[in-house]
Amino acid sequence: MEPSLGSYLALSGILFTIGAVGVIYKRNAIGMFMCIELMLNAVNLTFVAFSRYYGDVTGQLFVFMVMSVAAAEAAVGLGIIIAFFRNRVSVDVDDASILKN
Amino acid sequence: MNTILLQNLVTPNVSLQAVLPEMIVAFTGIIVMIYDSFMPKQRMVTGALSLIGLAASAFALFSMWGEAPASSWNGMIANDGLRMSFTLVFLFVSAMTILISTVWTERENVPIGEYHALLLFATFGMMFMAAGNDMVIIFLGLETLSIATYVMAGLRKSDLKSNESAMKYFILGSFASAFLLYGMALIYGATASTNITQIASMVGKANFPALLLIGGAMLIIGFGFKVATVPFHVWTPDVYEGAPTPVTGFMAAGPKASAFASFLRVFVIGFPLVSGAQASAFLHESWVTALTVMAILTMTVGNISAIVQNNVKRMLAYSSISHAGYAMVGFIGAGVAKTMQDRDEAIAAVAFYMLTYAVTNLGAFAIVTLIAQKNDRRTEFDDYNGIGFKSPVLAFSLSLFMLSLLGLPLTAGFMGKVLVFRPALEAGSTLLTVMVVIAVVNTAISAYYYLRLIVVMFFRERTTSWLEPKVSGALAAVLIITILGVFYFGIFSDNVIEKFSGKPSVQSAQIK
């Protein structure tokens, strides 16, 4: 039997929450970034589930956009993290603390 | 399945004319990037090319103002007052930023060709955020803008502050994008469409009303991050302080305005009050109330935090948070407007507010950049001690910009505030009236820190040596344009408002 729309939505909700909690609790910039990717993929699952449910391609098209944007974001983001690592020899966000009141 | 999908495909009504301003900016960006990779370090050439591109884009924009069809690309691109007026703001901000950045040519080794290309791509993203009448376009515009701005914030590769600013901006920005995207997915689930016009016609009869509500909340979180409203503002002061000063000026004026443009389009146009539909009334009331609370918090927290700052850039960052709160008052006014005309006028008022804020803020940032010296060393309040009579031109211009940010009559800031507060006041609801009263009280509070800078400049003794910075031609042009702008928008605001709200928006025929 094919899983219902509800189970897909529940799975994507759970994945999104895991990602969001991960971003808040992780201290490693790479780890945080991976959690953000997890959130984006949860969104993709939601789009595909609804796209299938309605028999409408818009949702799948949106997923392509999200994937290409996520790839561009990864390229820029890792570059930024590497620039930080070169000067600090750390990717721990707690070390990013010069700018504070 | 495949045959059904193929039947649903329709030939798009491609109209390159409708996206001409955006295309010009994108192509200029590509040309600048290619030119810079073959002939690096030609700062003047890439800067001049970018300015020409922006001017051509503005020309294209004016020639299609009110001329082009109301929407094109199968309804994905809107062509209303909201798009036109905000696009004008972005082009202005971008051109001013290029001129302000010329101070780098003398004193710093910044990869300026890449910077110009990134700035143009960011502008392209902003323009699509205002033009997009479909969530796909808004998302793509937002990401084009964000990715370019992350890099611009970290432009000083060897500077720890700049690294830190870029990393914080990147992580929190993509975190916010994920929320925004989840909101879009849920709205798509509830309405089976990503088109704002179709969403507006579906809100009354959505398939899953609960998803619409959760999706709306997610969108508020996502956009709230982008426009820096309390409680989603925590990244703003750090990112603004660490980024190179011209980039900070750009981020406070441009991306904030573009986030407002899509925020307005999705909420005011996408989630209207449809008479006779229970679900839409509940959704409408929920988002108006949520944004009202956010606006009140944003103004108050922004202003109170700004008082205790000792760094001018950080003070201006908190000031930009409070200004987002004032702009939101106009936003809510547009949301509760009873007629289409009132709504369009309120939207035009928000666009006008962002224009006045951009003019004033960029002027202020031009001077802050000039005084900051190499690597933004002098940005504390103490660095401004007693410069009033040593560099009168800079000090008097900065004082004028501070008074305009405060909202003194005859300046742009005053007219902007009056116009955004009026629609909310006219709505007659108690909550909105309270919000306007709080906004006025906040204006009074903000006098403390704006006037403090003026007092510091004119009435404090300078203990350290003061080297009068050289005002280059480009920077003088920025100061002249912004000072004239501050007075022009303060005195002749009617002309601009008329232009901004002149054309009826896309949806006017469909809702009424």
Complete DSSP assignment for A52-79? HHHT-THHHHHHHHHHHHHHHHHHHHHH
Are the C-beta atoms of residues A54 and A42 closer than 8 Å to each other? no
Adjacent-strand bridge partners of A34: none
A–B CB contacts, 8 A cutoff, strictly below: 132
**Choice between B193 and B207, residue whose per-residue pLDDT is larger:** B193
Over residues B197-213, mean pLDDT: 88
Q: Which of B163, B164, B178 sits opposite A43 (nearest CB)?
A: B178
Q: Residue B3 has what pLDDT?
A: 56
Instruction: Determine contact: A47 vs chain B, CB below 8 A.
Output: yes
Q: Which of B140, B158, B170 sits opposite A80 (nearest CB)?
A: B170
- Which is it for the CA torsion B317, B321, B324, B325, positive or negative? negative
Q: Which residue of B has its CA nearest to A30?
A: B171
Low-confidence ranges of chain A (pLDDT < 50): none
Helices (H) and strands (E) in chain B, counts: 21, 2
In 3D, which of B306, B298, B354 has the Cα closest to residue B453?
A: B306
Are the C-beta atoms of residues B343 and B273 closer than 8 Å to each other? no
Residues of chain A with Cβ-Cβ distance to B178 below 8 Å are 16, 19-20, 36, 39-40, 43
Q: Residue B508 has what pLDDT?
A: 40
> Is there a cis peptide before residue B231, judged by omega within 30 degrees of 0?
yes
Query: What confidence tens digit (pLDDT) does each residue in B265-320 have?
Result: 999 999 988 777 777 888 899 999 999 999 999 999 999 999 999 999 999 999 99
ipTM above 0.90, yes or no: yes
Q: Which of A65, A73, A81 sits opposite B167 (nearest CB)?
A: A81
User: What are B394's two structure tokens?
Assistant: 């800079």
**Which residues 51-90 of A are in CB contact (within 8 Å) with B?**
53-59, 61-62, 65-66, 69, 72-73, 76-77, 79-81, 83-84, 87-88
Complete DSSP assignment for B259-324? HHHHHHIIIIITS---TT-HHHHHHHHHHHHHHHHHHHHHHHHHHHHHHT--BHHHHHHHHHHHHH
DSSP state of B505: P
Whether residue B34 is predicted with pLDDT greater than 90 in this model: the reply is yes
Domains of chain B, residue spans: 15-501
DSSP state of B469: P
Q: Which residue of B has its CA nearest to A95?
A: B164
Residues of chain B with Cβ-Cβ distance to A68 below 8 Å are none
Residue type for position B11: T
Instruction: Determine contact: A1 vs chain B, CB below 8 A.
Output: no
Return the HEC string of B69-108: CCEECCCCEECCHHHHHHHHHHHHHHHHHHHHHHHHHHHC
- Nearest chain A CA: its distance from B163 CA (Å): 5
Query: What confidence tens digit (pLDDT) does each residue in B348-395 have?
Result: 999 999 999 999 999 999 999 999 887 778 888 888 888 888 889 999
- Nearest chain A CA: its distance from B421 CA (Å): 32
Over residues B456-473, mean pLDDT: 85
A5-89 belongs to CATH 1.10.1530.10: no
Pairing of strands B71-72, B77-78: antiparallel
Question: Is A88 in Cβ contact with B163 (below 8 Å)?
Answer: yes
Q: What are the residue ranges of helices labelled H in B427-472?
A: 430-459
Are the C-beta atoms of residues B256 and B316 closer than 8 Å to each other? no
